[in-house]
Amino acid sequence: MRILFAGFRRMRLKTIVFSVTLLAALITTFCIVTQYSGGQSDALETARTHYNGAISYVGEKLASYGDSAGSDANKEGDTAVKDETTPEGSGKENVQLEESNMGQHSNSTTGDAKVDEALIHYQESQLTSSEDEIKKLEDSEIEQTSMPFEDDNLINKLERPLYAISGAEAANASNALLLENTEIYKKLLDEPITEPKVGGLIRENDPVAGKGNATIMALVQNKDVDAIVGTIQQLEEKFNAKFAYPYTLMNEEYFTDEFKNRITSMLPVDRVVHFAKIDSEDWDVPEDIDMKKYKENMNQLDRDSVQYAKKISYHNMCRFYSSKFYHQDVLNNYKYVWRIEPNVNFYCDIDYDIFQFMEENQKIYGFTLSLYDSPQSVRSLWNVTLGFVKENPHYLNRNGAFEWIKENLQKPENFNMTDGYSTCHFWTNFEIVDLDFLRSEPYEKYMDHLEKQGGFYYERWGDAPVRSLALALFADKSQIHWFRDVAYHHFPYTNCPSSPMGSRRCDGKCTPGVFSAYDNLIVENCLPTWIKYSMSEEQLDMY
């Protein structure tokens, strides 16, 4: 598997198209042969069988092509902090879905069957391709700019798309890339795993278990009590009953006694819980925001079906989580924060101290899901960001995740609308973050720059794309960790690993490898790009 993904990572896009063409030719041949002997349905079934063999063969070839291509902190009770207002109490910070994109939920097609069905549909479409079209695809000079990405000038990398392709060829290549990425994701998630294969994992009975300088944090309103209780109950069952890390709950208003009692009564008496109210200056709309311009812009975004565009509390929350939360007094003495939200699910046991794993392995950020964002909500964010790094090129990390943010084929409309940003981001409703990174000079200067632009209100910049761009540009990508083993769900997306036969680590409430129950949302998955371009062989072998 490691060799396969290493091959995928630096392959030329021409090889992608060649591979799909090869598959189409194989499929067409077998369909023609079997159609005469068994009819169309038998032909498709035969095509499926030979497709699986072709995938393995092409994977080996692509691998060879790719190889040649170039603490005990803060124990006081109530403190002053701040809360996020979450729309409808759902905790869905970055769900960028329009109603027309939700699709229909299929109760009968899950897991492998979903991917197989998608592949068969693609295969059927290939059967209609003429020989001339196949020849045209095979002969087209589609260049991937991964080699120029070796350029010494980091700014040049950020001004170019990952794939140098446009026009009619782009549509064909986009379909091929989505098919390839779907297969990459499925193959990796099909591998049975338990936990990171590193030495020194801290277990429940270890004397230092639960001694990391960390807290579990949520931004909630009083009305969210039932939803956050459900989240905390699951996290206690899967992780924190073993390690007893403190909770920090923030609110834009004062927490009610009823809220506090509900939380403390469900936890062991010795579990530390901080209840904090956020200062209004860190939450409210800044005085220099032109409210007339804000309303006009939000009316347009609302017409464009951008979610939560007209909810001022959502804009406040995005700004707070981007640049304010880590300065709250209640977090001053903590190094790591694990962010959780109401109405999320955890499906598998976590039997090691996740915070001490982060520290021992020098990880500054942990995530479970990576998605594309709504491009209408971040139209100017990339140009503003590029302007900042041009003024401050010394902040760029030479081992940044540049390809991930410059990918331009899976959802080319996103890249085009934002003038050069894939919109790939970490879904920050789950994040484990080293606050030292957020308090660093590059991140803080970047936040100051964004604050002056007003984009949290004149557009709908989310904390997820903001945080993700900062990480991709200023952090070493080897210090960013995908927690493949943490089974996590926030509607409508899931990170669900496979478990070894006989393992009882997971509760079986998610289907391994199924990113979303909605078939038309498969295209929203940015993880394959992260896997191909941002994960080293060492990281791929960690599970």
Q: Which residues carry out catalysis?
A: 431
CA distance 308 to 301: 9
Nearest to 530 by CA among 414, 368, 370, 366: 370
* 325, burial (CB in 10 Å: exposed 0-12, middle 13-18, buried 19+): buried
Nearest to 540 by CA among 527, 526, 521: 527
The values of phi and psi at residue 493, to 5°, are: -120, 155
Nearest to 481 by CA among 402, 539, 423, 529: 539
Q: What count of residues does the chain have?
A: 543
CA distance 201 to 358: 10
Nearest to 185 by CA among 536, 542, 468, 522: 522
Q: How many CA atoms lie within 13 A of 456 on its CB side?
A: 28
CA distance 195 to 95: 28
CB 266 within 8 A of CB 229: yes
The pairing of strands 365-367 and 480-482 is parallel
158 CB contacts (<8 Å, ≥6 apart)?
386, 389, 402, 406, 420, 473
Nearest to 181 by CA among 63, 10, 8: 8
CA distance 262 to 226: 9
Integer distance in angstroms from the first to the last C-alpha of the chain?
Answer: 11
CB 146 within 8 A of CB 10: yes
List the structure tokens of 299. Answer: 């009316």
- In sequence order, what DSSP letters do the residues of 462-495 get, joined into one string? -HHHHHHHHHHHHS-GGGEEE-TT--EEETTEEE
* 230, burial (CB in 10 Å: exposed 0-12, middle 13-18, buried 19+): middle
CA distance 297 to 283: 20
Give ∠ CA 241-247-252 in degrees, rounded to 5. Answer: 150
Q: Which amino acid is at 393?
A: P
CB 123 within 8 A of CB 27: yes
CA distance 533 to 9: 5
